[in-house]
């Protein structure tokens, strides 16, 4: 199951680093491709030569080696999965804070693949509120944290904090890469994200403040669950590097609609997260509109409602998910859209909630299902919200399969 999987193994300074040799051996035996990145502290616990020999490639540990920049971006993009085992309290705290002071922390920040942590430390450290809050923070951003074991610790004490055994880590990875870990394997998805820009003249447009982050996170979460994804992305400085996502960049609602309709009929899952302009200028001036002494009146016309069109043309078995960004009568409006646009799920975010909605990195949503389900979620990072949305989609498939 791990055959050909590209795994970057990060080894940090913990006595459990001696188990990394066995872990590399198990991964290589499964025909995974393993590249090892060590921190300086790890080299005190296990020799790089051991891990180079077992992995079949030279261990990397420096950002700059013999005046040559070590390309952490390439390594981050190469990986199907970044596994940090053992993950020391120190590295967990750096990664939670976004510190970048060695090759491993740089690879972490530039990777777009799933990240799995196998923490290892003494019990007192593990239970410290600082470590626990870092672990929670990393988990809330969509990283996976493997449970620590209980037993003898390096200090001689007995308690919690042992790194998961290499066999357990291998089992987790096999599950992750198996059909059970990738429940949307073989499914296709189409996601819209970002704003649209509706031109007024060659230099001006009507737009909105959407960053596209929520939809991009949904596309990435769908890929992690095994789906093949097309992302139709409005004008935003954000993008995605996740392998398995084909990106079509568009400007206007009309272009977004056309890109969607080209692909929608053959797609299993449609998630419309874009903040599409509802109106556009009735005519676009071919020349820059000149200032004049009087007021300027604009006549606006409706743009195509992509979600509504998809609802009308929905094929049996297709799952259609819409978003609803509301400032008043949130639930009523969301439920009306769910019904009128023939959706299976609608994700409501209220602009009244602190930390929810446009621009930021967090969101607070409620997901309504057409069968009457309603699930409220706490404030989370957009990638964790995306994982909840994908989970709701997977649950829908389970319900359909069972009925």
Number of chain residues interacting with ligand C5P (CB under 6 A): 16
Nearer to ligand C5P by C-beta: 164 or 250? 250
Residues 6+ apart with CB under 8 A from 260: 190, 192, 232, 270, 306, 310
Contact pick of 87, 173, 231, 253 for ligand C5P (by CB under 6 A) = 253
Give backbone dihedrals phi and psi of 213, rounded to 5 degrees, phi first: -60, -40
| Residue among 219, 247, 274 nearest 390 (CA) | 219
305 near ligand C5P (CB under 6 A): yes
The catalytic position among 70, 208, 263, 342 is 208
In this chain, which of 83, 307, 335, 393 binds ligand C5P, going by CB under 6 A?
A: 307
CB of 276 to ligand C5P, least distance (A): 3
Angstrom distance (rounded) from CA 276 to CA 354: 23
Among 95, 323, 383, 387, binds ligand C5P (CB under 6 A): 323
Q: What is the number of residues in the chain?
A: 403
Is 274 an interacting residue with respect to ligand C5P (CB under 6 A)? yes
Q: Which residues of 307-345 are buried (b: 16+ CB within 10 A; e: fewer)?
A: bbebbeebeeebbbbbbbbbeeebeebbbebbeebbbbb
The question of whether 208 is a catalytic residue gets the answer yes
Q: Would you say the C-alpha torsion 135, 136, 137, 139 has a positive or negative sign?
A: positive
For ligand C5P, the binding residues in 165-194 under the rule CB under 6 A are 192
| Residue whose CB is less far from ligand C5P, 25 or 254 | 254
CB 369, min distance to ligand C5P, A: 15
Tally Cβ neighbours within 10 Å of residue 140: 18
364 binds ligand C5P, rule: CB under 6 A: no
Which range binds ligand C5P by CB under 6 A, 55-63, 100-108, 143-151, 268-276?
268-276
CA distances from 169 to 21, 192, 390 (A): 13, 35, 24
By CB under 6 A, is residue 337 in contact with ligand C5P?
A: yes
Q: Choose the binding region for ligand C5P from 101-109, 232-240, 319-327, 390-398 (rule: CB under 6 A).
A: 319-327
Binding residues for ligand C5P, rule: CB under 6 A, are: 192, 253, 272-274, 276, 278, 303-307, 322-324, 337
Active-site positions?
208
């Amino acid at each position: 199951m791990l055959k050909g999987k590209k795994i970057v193994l990060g080894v940090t300074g913990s006595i459990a680093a001696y188990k990394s040799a066995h872990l590399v051996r198990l991964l290589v035996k499964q025909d995974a491709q393993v590249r090892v990145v060590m921190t300086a502290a790890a080299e005190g616990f296990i020799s790089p030569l051991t891990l180079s020999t077992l992995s079949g490639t030279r261990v990397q540990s420096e950002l700059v080696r013999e005046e040559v920049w070590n390309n952490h971006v390439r390594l981050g993009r190469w990986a199907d999965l970044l596994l940090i085992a053992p993950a020391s309290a120190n590295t967990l705290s750096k990664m939670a804070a976004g510190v970048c002071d060695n090759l491993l922390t740089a690879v972490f920040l530039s990777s777009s693949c799933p990240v799995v942590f196998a923490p290892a430390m003494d019990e007192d450290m593990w239970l410290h509120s600082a470590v626990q809050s870092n672990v929670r923070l990393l988990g809330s951003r969509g990283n996976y944290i493997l449970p620590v074991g209980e037993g003898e610790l390096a200090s001689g004490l007995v308690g919690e904090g042992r790194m998961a055994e290499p066999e357990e880590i291998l089992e987790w990875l096999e599950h992750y890469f198996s059909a059970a870990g990738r429940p949307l394997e073989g499914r296709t998805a189409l996601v819209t994200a970002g704003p649209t820009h509706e031109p007024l003249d060659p230099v001006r447009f009507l737009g909105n403040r959407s960053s596209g982050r929520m939809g991009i996170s949904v596309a990435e979460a769908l890929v992690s669950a095994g789906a093949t994804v097309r992302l139709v992305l409005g004008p935003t400085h954000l993008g995605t590097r996740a392998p398995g996502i084909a990106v079509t960049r568009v400007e206007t609602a009309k272009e977004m609609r056309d890109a969607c309709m080209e692909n929608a009929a053959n797609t299993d899952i449609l998630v419309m997260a874009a903040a599409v302009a509802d109106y556009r200028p009735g005519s676009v001036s071919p020349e820059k509109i000149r200032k004049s002494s009087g007021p300027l009146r604009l006549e606006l016309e409706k743009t195509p409602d992509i979600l509504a069109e998809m609802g009308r043309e929905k094929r049996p078995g297709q799952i259609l998910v819409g978003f609803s960004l509301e400032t008043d009568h949130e639930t009523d409006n969301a439920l009306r859209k769910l019904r009128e646009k023939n959706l299976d799920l609608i994700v409501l975010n209220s602009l009244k909630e602190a930390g929810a909605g446009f621009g930021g990195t967090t969101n607070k949503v409620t997901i309504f299902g057409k069968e009457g389900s309603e699930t409220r979620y706490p404030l989370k990072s957009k990638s964790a919200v995306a994982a909840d949305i994908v989970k709701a989609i997977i649950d829908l498939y389970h319900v359909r399969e069972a009925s």
